Chain A
Amino acid sequence: MSEQLTSGTGTSMIGGTEARSSRSILVLLMPIAMVGVALALVPLWLSDSRVLMGVAVLGLTFICYTIGFNVIFGSTGQLFLCVGALAGVGGFGAAILADNVGWPIVVSILVATFAATLTGGLLSYVAVRRSLGVIFTGIVTLIFSLSFDALLLGLSHLTGGDTGRSIHSGADTFLRAQVPPYYLMLALVLFFLLIHALLRRSHIGWAFRALRDDEVAAELAGVDVARYRVYGALIGAAMLGLAGSTYAFTEGRISPTTFGFGEVDVVVLVMLAFGGIGTLFGPIVGAITFTIIDEVLIDFGQLRQVAYGILIIVLFLWMPRGLIPTVASIWRRVRRLVEVKE
C-alpha cells in the first residue's frame, strides 16, 4: 500500500529546484484538470434522464466520500468506519440548522461541516492517545457509527426517524434542478482532489508518507505521528461533512440509510480498495467503477446483491492491491522491458 503512483513525479520533487517545482505544479494540475473536463462532459448524454442524473450526482458524492476516507485511512492508516456517520453529522446537522433553526443554507453547511470536522478530530485524538491499532480504531469508529444511527432513530422529531425527513430550505433554487447539482458536486470533487494533491506535496504529505511506511522510523526521525494522524482525520472529516451536507441539500430528502454503515462505509471501503488505497486518483476510478457496476447490476433484479458479492471477490482476488497500483506496476515492468531492449 505504498505510494507507487507518485514514484514518477515524486522523484522529481526530491531534488527539485525552484524552476522544476513550478513545472511540477503543472504536472500536478494537469491530471486533475483532465478529470474535471471528462466528468464535466457526462451531463451531455445523461441530462435527459432525471434518474440517471441522480445516479451521477450520487456517484460524485461517493467520490467525495472516498477521497475523504482516503485522506484518513490511505494517508494515515486510521481505519475510520464512520464515513457515513461523519457525512451524516454534516447532512442532518445542516438540514436541522437550515430548516428548524432557520439559518441560511451556506452558514448551515459550514457549521455542520465544522461539527463533522471536530467529531472526526476527536475520534482520531482519542484513538491516537490510546495508540489503538487498525482493528481497534475500526471498532471504536464503528461503535460511533452505530450510536449515531441509534441517535438518528431516537430523535425522530428532528430526523424523521426510520423514514427520514425532507429538507425545505433551498427547495426552489438551483440546488434541486436537474443538472446544476451535478456541477456543484463536481466542483467539490475537484476541490478535494486539489487539496489532497497539494497536501501530498506539502510537509504534511511527507509526514503522512513517513508514518504510513514505518511508524516507528517516522517517530525516530522527528515526525510527530500523533499530531499528523489527527491532522489527517480533521481534513478527511471536513471533506466528509462538507460532501454530506451539500448532498443533503441537493437531494432534499435524507434518512438514516442515506448515511448508513452498510450503504456508505462498506461501499466506500470497496471503492477505495478497488481504486488503490493511498493513491490520488484511486477514489475516482473506484467510485466511478462501482457506481457503473451498481447501475448495470439493476438488470439482475433480485440477484443483484449476489452478483455484486461475486464481483467483489473476483476483483480483489485478481488485484488485491487495487487497480491503480496494479496498472502502475505493469506499466513499470513494460517500461523496463523496453529500456532493456534499447
Chain B
Amino acid sequence: MLNLGYGQIAVTSAIAVALAMEAGIPILPAAALGLLIGGLFGLFLDLTILRPVYRLRGEARVLLSLLLTLGVSFIVDGFLNWRFPLKTLNLHIGGGAVEILGVPMRRGSLVASAITLATFAGLFVFFGRTSLGRAIRSVIEDEEGARLIGIDPKKMLRLILVLSGVLAALVAVTRSMVAPVDTKSGLSITVFALIVTVVGGLGNVVGALLAGIILGIVNVIAADFIGSYISLIILLVAAAVTILIRPAGLLGVKE
C-alpha cells in the first residue's frame, strides 16, 4: 500500500500546531495536539477510503491506494491553500548556537535530531521487542500467514496508519525547528519520505535511519562543495544507485 497523502498529514498537523500556538497554547501541548491530529488523520483514512483498498491484493492494491490517497492529498492541499494560504509553522528554539566538538550547531537542529533519534530508538524497540510490533511486522510480511496464526490484519493495518500519521506529524514539528513548513510542503515531504524508505529498505527501521543519515551527509557535502542544483542531482543519483545496487535496501537480505 502506498500513501501519497503522507506529506499532507504532516502539513495538516503543522498548520494545526501553528493555529494552536497563535491561540496562546504553549509549545508542548500544541505539539501534542499536532501528533494527535496526525494520528486521527491516519485513523480516518483507515476507516474510510482505505476499506476497499484492503480487499485487493498485490499490484491492484498499490495502484488503488495510490490513486485514492492522491485524491486525499488534492483535497487537503486545496483546502489548506484556500483557508490558510500564508500560514507556516516555524518553531524557534531559544538560545544561540551550541558548540559540539568545536562545530557550532543551531539549537533547533539539535533538538530536532534528539527527538528523531529518541523516536527511532522507540520504534526499534517497539518493532523488535514487543509482541505488538512483531505482529505488525508479520502482517507487513505476509497478511494471510498472519491471519492464520491469529493476528487480525485489519487491526494491525489500522495501527500502522495511526502510527504513520503520528510520525508524519512529528516530522512536521521537528522539520519546523529547522525550516518553515508551509501549506505547499506536502508533496516534497511525501517524495523524500518515499525515496529514503526505499533506499533504506521497505519495512526496515534501521535501514531508513541509515539511509536518511547517509543521504543527508551526501546532500550537505555536495551542497558545500558544488552548486546547489547539482547537489540535489547528486543526492538523487546516489539514491538511485543505491536502489539499483541493493534493491532490497541498504541492510536488506536478498530473498
Contacts and interface: CB of A to CB of B under 8 A. Distances in A.
A132 B243 CA distance: 9
Nearest to B48: A313
Interface in A251-310: 262, 266, 269-270, 273, 277, 302-310
Contact of B78 (A1, A303, A313): A303
Interface in A61-81: 77
Contacts of A136: 198, 243, 247
A313 B240 CA distance: 31
Interface stretch (B25-33, B59-67, B93-101, B154-162): B59-67
A134 B198 CA distance: 12
B63 A273 contact: yes
Interface residues of A, number: 41
B207 to A, nearest CB: 14
B126 interface: no
Contacts of A269: 66-67, 70
B71 A144 contact: no
A171 interface: no
Contacts of A304: 78
B2 A135 contact: yes
B187 interface: yes
Contacts, number: 117
Contact of B67 (A132, A154, A316): A316
Contact of B243 (A139, A307, A308): A139
A217 to B, nearest CB: 16
A58 B247 CA distance: 37
B67 A312 contact: yes
B75 A310 contact: yes
Given A143-B240, A150-B229, A135 B74 contact: no
Contact of A154 (B70, B81, B191, B230): B230
Given A143-B236, A151-B233, A313-B49, A134 B59 contact: yes
Interface string B191-225: 10011001000100000000000000000000000
Given A147-B236, A317-B52, A317-B68, A312 B74 contact: yes
Given A139-B195, A154-B227, A303-B82, A309 B52 contact: no
Interface string A113-157: 000000000000010001110111001101110110011011000
Contacts of B77: 305, 309
A320 interface: yes
B74 A308 contact: yes
Nearest to A129: B244
Contacts of B75: 305-306, 309-310, 313
B166 interface: no
Contacts of B239: 143
B171 to A, nearest CB: 19
A342 B149 CA distance: 51
A208 to B, nearest CB: 16
A307 B77 CA distance: 11
A305 B82 CA distance: 9
With a 10 A CB-CB cut-off, give which of B49, B72, B198 has the most chain A CB atoms: B198
A302 B77 CA distance: 11
A316 B229 CA distance: 37
Contacts of B114: none
A77 to B, nearest CB: 8
Nearest to A277: B63
Contact of A305 (B62, B68, B81): B81
A238 B153 CA distance: 44
Nearest to B82: A302
A77 B2 CA distance: 17
Interface in B119-138: none
A132 B64 contact: no
A33 B234 CA distance: 48
Contacts of B195: 139, 142-143
Contacts of B2: 135
B186 to A, nearest CB: 10
A13 B116 CA distance: 60
A146 B198 contact: no
B240 A140 contact: yes
Nearest to B49: A313
B72 A147 contact: no
Nearest to B2: A135
Contacts of A308: 74, 78
Contacts of A317: 49, 52, 68
Contact of B236 (A146, A266, A313): A146
Contacts of B237: 143, 147
12 contacts: A1-B59, A130-B244, A139-B243, A144-B240, A146-B191, A147-B233, A305-B74, A305-B77, A312-B74, A313-B72, A320-B56, A320-B60
Closest 7 CB pairs of A and B: A305-B78, A309-B74, A154-B229, A309-B75, A312-B71, A306-B78, A313-B71
Interface of A: 1, 77, 126, 130-132, 134-136, 139-140, 142-144, 146-147, 150-151, 153-154, 262, 266, 269-270, 273, 277, 302-313, 316-317, 320
Interface of B: 2, 49, 52, 56, 59-60, 62-64, 66-68, 70-79, 81-82, 187, 191, 194-195, 198, 202, 227, 229-230, 232-233, 236-237, 239-240, 243-244, 247
